[in-house]
Amino acid sequence: MTRPPNVLFIMADQMAASALPFYGHPLVKTPNLSALAAQGVVFESAYCAYPLCAPARFSLLSGRLPSRIGAFDNAAEFPSATPTFVHHFRAAGYRTALAGKMHFVGADGLHGFEERLTTDIYPADFGWTPDWGHQVLTYDWSHHMASVVEAGPCHRSLQIDFDEETAHQAVQKIYDYGRRADEAPFFLTVSFTHPHDPFNCLPEHWDLYDHNAIDLPAVPALAPSALDPHSRRLYYMDSQHRYHMTDERTRTARHAYYGMISYVDDLVGRLLTALRRAGLAQDTIIVFAGDHGEMLGERGLWYKMSFFEGSARIPLLFHCPRKWRPRRVPGNVSHVDLFPTFLDLIGDTAGPPVDPPDGHSLVPLIEGRDTHADDTIFCEYLGEGVLKPALMVRSGRHKYVICGDDPAQLYDLVADPSERVNRAGLPDFTDIERGLARRIARQWDVADLERQVIASQNRRLFIHRSLLSGRHAAWDYQPSRDAATSYVRNVGIAEDTLKAQARLPPVPTVPPDFPD
């Protein structure tokens, strides 16, 4: 590459790593993503920093744990003064654009992006703020099991509308970049809302799968009384007690989820086709990641908001065959590692980070020159469904979880990948548990964190109530477009010149055979 590489960063919402074929799923069909994985670097044990949409994304962008930037839940503001890796790309001379979902909360809808090609699918206000101060555990705006029991194929949905717009705008932007390929490199984020619930997919993606072959959860549903306290809270918060979850309902929801994954793969294919046709495929690093996972009925749980593997583990791959050989990286990595990784990729032209990130660059792992001896990562959950901070550390093969007065959980993910046996309190694991508990105590001041969360919630709950009175001014980002730069007008660029500039690949000007 003669200049810094372009970067196409693709995100999928609520994408469980375990449901993807390049992580071992035998049924799901993703030819485009699987091809990227076969030629790229796949991280086997990547985790979100928070198993919920907005905080996970804010942490990913900033390279810091959500609580360190006040991103306590899905209605916590992403402060404009928080530097993101997008600011660094921009400072390094990149053109930066975002298509699709990023769930920014607050009045700043850009956070370093020069332009957004779409609005967001979710609100930017404080309306989804939990209320720990009043011990509230159920909310009318949280997930509801109707999205599972009503699963199935459909011809259109809110999410399909959104992702079709996202893909279209992103493809157009890629072609625009191709038309100006001699200019600065680009950093384009394309963030799809699929395969987030509700569990609906197009008929053509539903028909890719034999319904009777759809696998049921590996860990059967447990009675509420047999669930750990946090899972039990989620069970009632999500209204699971109001429905009888039969095997058929579970199979249907999983069938639709697999169809949604195949839909995401088709959208990725559109982006890859555009890169090739725009002449940009050889000079573009492709990164694919999820914001968090999806439980898919494992142990009877759905959605996310827990630290079980289905919820907290994410897919993560880097693709650039001209730079890196294909490999699979086994150690634990985190969302917070993406910030220093991107800075490593673009060099020091943008300067060092203002706030030291909580993660480490993955480039040595991508290049195969690091053994990753200490692969400890941290994850937190401070949203609806808990009344105290829920905290997780994963180090090597062990995962340790605490939440207020709930019994601690300790899992050996090598001996017990399905997390069936809680080893906390067992004599043979005393030293391991103590060591992981010390890591959590060093990472968080739990009592102070709880105070911060409640104070933030109280401020936001008051502000949201007050802004519902009088004239409403939305914070949601509304993209604008100047059609005069795209299509023919009687002022500005001449018609023939504009049409020539829009042709891709460009052709040399042909002089008249019979000049005047």
Summarised one tens digit per residue, pLDDT across range 169-185 is 999 999 999 998 778 99
Structure tokens given for 101: 């979902």
Q: Under 8 Å CB-to-CB from 326, ≥6 apart: which residues? A: 38, 39, 40, 41
Q: CA-CA distances (angstroms) from residue 170 to 15, 43, 271?
A: 20, 26, 7
Residues comprising the chain, all counted: 516
413-449 pLDDT, tens digit each: 999 999 999 999 999 999 999 999 999 999 999 999 9
Q: Are 98 and 117 in contact (CB under 8 A)?
A: yes
Give residue 2's pLDDT: 65
pLDDT band at 484 (very low <50, low <70, confident <90, very high): confident
39-89 pLDDT, tens digit each: 999 999 999 999 999 999 999 999 999 999 999 999 999 999 999 999 999
- For the chain, the average pLDDT equals 95
Indicate the burial class of 402 (C-beta count within 10 angstroms; 0-12, 13-18, 19 or more): buried
Is 338 a residue whose pLDDT tops 80? yes
- Looking only at the bridges linking them, the beta strands covering 327-334 and 316-319 are unpaired
Angle at the Cα of 290 (from 50 to 367), degrees rounded to 5?
105
pLDDT band at 1 (very low <50, low <70, confident <90, very high): very low
Give the C-alpha separation, 23 to 425, whole Å.
32
Which SS3 state, helix, strand or coil, does residue 351 take? coil
Indicate the burial class of 379 (C-beta count within 10 angstroms; 0-12, 13-18, 19 or more): buried
Give the C-alpha separation, 160 to 200, whole Å.
9
More confident site: 352 or 325: 325
Of the candidate ranges 128-132, 233-237, 259-263, 480-484, the one whose mean pLDDT is the lowest: 480-484
- Looking only at the bridges linking them, the beta strands covering 398-403 and 390-395 are antiparallel
Structure tokens given for 231: 């899972």
398-413 pLDDT, tens digit each: 999 999 999 999 999 9
Q: Under 8 Å CB-to-CB from 343, ≥6 apart: which residues? A: 85, 88, 350, 353, 361
The closest alpha carbon to 128, from 417, 464, 512, belongs to 464
Q: Which residues are part of the catalytic machinery?
A: 53, 103
Domains and CATH numbers, the chain: 6-374 (3.40.720.10)
More confident site: 498 or 188: 188
Give the C-alpha separation, 177 to 169, whole Å.
12
Indicate the burial class of 408 (C-beta count within 10 angstroms; 0-12, 13-18, 19 or more): middle
More confident site: 168 or 352: 168
Give the C-alpha separation, 179 to 181, whole Å.
6
The edge-to-edge listing of strands for the beta sheet with 409-412 is: 377-381, 390-395, 398-403, 409-412
Give the C-alpha separation, 148 to 145, whole Å.
5
Of the candidate ranges 72-81, 302-311, 491-500, the one whose mean pLDDT is the lowest: 491-500
The closest alpha carbon to 360, from 379, 381, 375, 380, belongs to 375
Which SS3 state, helix, strand or coil, does residue 473 take? coil
**Region 148-157: what's the mean pLDDT?**
96
Give the C-alpha separation, 444 to 18, whole Å.
30
Which SS3 state, helix, strand or coil, does residue 162 take? helix
SS (H, E, C) 409-434: EEEECCCCCCCCCCCCCCHHHHHHHH
Give residue 17's pLDDT: 98
